Structure 1
């Protein structure tokens, strides 16, 4: 099986970069990167030192429901190109490990699918999860803060 890591949709990101409201109806906060730990969820690269970035609330689910987690994410303040969907690990996944968790077609967590996985084992874990009929897609989230990083889909 082949998987692909996917970034946030460009149409959503452009609206936020142009000052549109985040998941809580607030204007994204503008910051300047120190170059350390500022992963853009659109290009899936780290924001370079001195570059502007946005901090905002994002909900990577189509509608409100009990499992629709909302949390902080970073985006380049200026337009950046969306990361190409690929089976290779995105640049932003530079920590030792991440939460990898499966979701069903109903956008709810599939219990028993989540775990803290070493970074170099994320792709293999996603392929294992996709062997299950009840997994529609997978999230990669920070193991320390549960922040959404990216989505993994079947290719």
Structure 2
């Protein structure tokens, strides 16, 4: 059995924002956008790229909220009607596999233990290796070229 599982963010965190007026979104550093192509608008909830014409929000998101020196945030896209995707152990979706991925491994105290960059098609092997280390609690994947948070890799119990 695989040591990891990838999961998207819960849509409920963002659902109300789709009804906010543009001024409220702007005050939060967010804005509406529409996917202009089928690649380049990765939804962090569904772990799929939005299709041309789909409505999204582009917003700042604190993906590492822990009280640690590694606290971090960055921009993410969220599709309007996305459903949170939690993949079976060991499954890497095309959303990840076709991008250059930066991964960052953390311990239970939220300190970074290791990090590297690899082609998304090789991320499963990298995650298996990093989760073989007992002290690794979770791993954040980032789209390396833009630096944006992609998804969470959790240890499978």
The answer to whether the superposition gives a TM-score over 0.5 is yes
Shift of 1:143: 1.5
Shift of 1:103: 0.9
Residues 1:73 and 2:71 are matched in the alignment: no
Tell me the distance in 1 between the aligned counterparts of 2:19 and 2:120. 33
TM-score, normalized by length of structure 1?
A: 0.85
Shift of 1:69: 1.3
Shift of 1:51: 1.2
Tell me the distance in 1 between the aligned counterparts of 2:87 and 2:15. 18
Q: Which among 77, 87, 92 is matched to residue 95 of structure 2?
A: 92
Tell me the distance in 2 between the aligned counterparts of 1:19 and 1:58. 17
Tell me the distance in 1 between the aligned counterparts of 2:142 and 2:49. 16
Indicate the structure with greater helix content.
Answer: 2
Name structure 1 gaps, 5 residues minimum.
none
- Contact 1:19–1:28 (CA<8 Å) still a contact in 2? no
Aligned to 1:129: 130
Classify the secondary structure of the residue corresponding to 2:151: strand
Show CA shifts across 1:62-97 (max 9, x none).
Answer: 445421111011011x22211132221123225442
Q: Which among 22, 30, 34 is matched to residue 32 of structure 2?
A: 30
Aligned to 2:149: 148
Indicate the structure with greater strand content.
Answer: 2
Name structure 2 gaps, 5 residues minimum.
none
TM-score, normalized by length of structure 2?
A: 0.84
Shift of 1:144: 1.4
Shift of 1:14: 2.4
Classify the secondary structure of the residue corresponding to 2:91: coil
Tell me the distance in 1 between the aligned counterparts of 2:102 and 2:142. 5
Shift of 1:39: 0.3
Shift of 1:34: 0.7
